[in-house]
Each structure stands twice: as C-alpha cells, then as structure tokens.
C-alpha cells in the first residue's frame, strides 16, 4: 500500500484534494497555502508537524511570513504514494481548504 502511485492513480487521488498539482520533472506533489499572518501560517505548520511525526512521513516545505509552500513525495518509494495523499488531505483540512 505504500508503493508509488501510477499516473492514473495519482490523477484520481489528486482530484480528491484541493489545489495540489504534480511537480514538473519529479514524482512529487505541491501546494501553496496562504494565510493572513505568520502566526496562522506557523500554527498550520505546527499542526502538520505533529501529524507528520506521528506518520513518520515528513514534508519538504518553505515558509515566508504568511505563505507555506509544500512538496510531498515518498523518498523510499521514489515517488508519490498513499502516504503523501493522506498527509495532503490532512493539510487541506488543517489549512482550511
């Protein structure tokens, strides 16, 4: 269940998420979250960090002030897996989308 998703599987799963797109030239997915303030952005990151730690599956992310850029991929599987979709869905909820 943690194998790399096929293109077809990924397209189907992305359709269940909000605003996630495939990354060019790499098997990964990306979304930008924008909040009103740094406080809200970092609050979001903290909620996601606790989830990520519990899943032992961590994001690549960049933050500047109210913006959080997230890339998800499963290193061990060499691409996007169900773990990434699960974490992305959690982030959608945590980010208010």
| Interface with a copy of itself (CB under 8 A) | 38-39, 42, 45-46, 49, 52-53, 58-65
H or E, element range at 83: helix 82-94
Smaller CB separation from a copy of itself, 8 or 56: 56
Of the pair 9, 63, the CB lying nearest a copy of itself is at: 63
Q: How far does CA 51 lie from the centroid of its chain?
A: 12
Q: Taking the complex as a whole, how short is the minimal distance between the CB of residue 43 and a copy of itself, in angstroms?
A: 9
As measured in angstroms, the least distance from the Cβ of 64 to a copy of itself is 4
Within a 10 A sphere around the Cβ of 11, how many other Cβ atoms? 11
Please state whether beta strands 67-72 and 60-64 pair in parallel, antiparallel, or not at all (unpaired).
Answer: antiparallel
The residue among 2 and 62 lying less far from a copy of itself, judged by its C-beta, is: 62
Report phi then psi at 11, rounded to 5. Answer: -60, -45
Of 16 and 46, which CB lies nearer to a copy of itself in the complex structure? 46
How far apart are CB 85 and a copy of itself at their closest, in Å? 19
Would you say 85 and 13 are in contact if contact means Cβ atoms under 8 Å apart?
Answer: yes
């Amino acid at each position: 269940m943690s194998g790399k998703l096929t293109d077809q599987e990924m397209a189907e799963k992305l359709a269940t998420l909000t605003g996630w797109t495939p990354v060019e030239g790499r098997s990964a997915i990306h979304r930008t979250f924008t909040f009103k303030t740094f406080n809200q952005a970092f609050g979001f990151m903290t909620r996601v960090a606790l989830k990520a730690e519990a899943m032992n599956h961590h994001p690549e992310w960049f933050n500047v002030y109210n913006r959080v850029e997230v890339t998800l991929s499963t290193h061990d599987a060499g691409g996007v897996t169900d773990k990434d979709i699960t974490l992305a869905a959690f982030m959608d909820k945590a980010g208010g989308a």
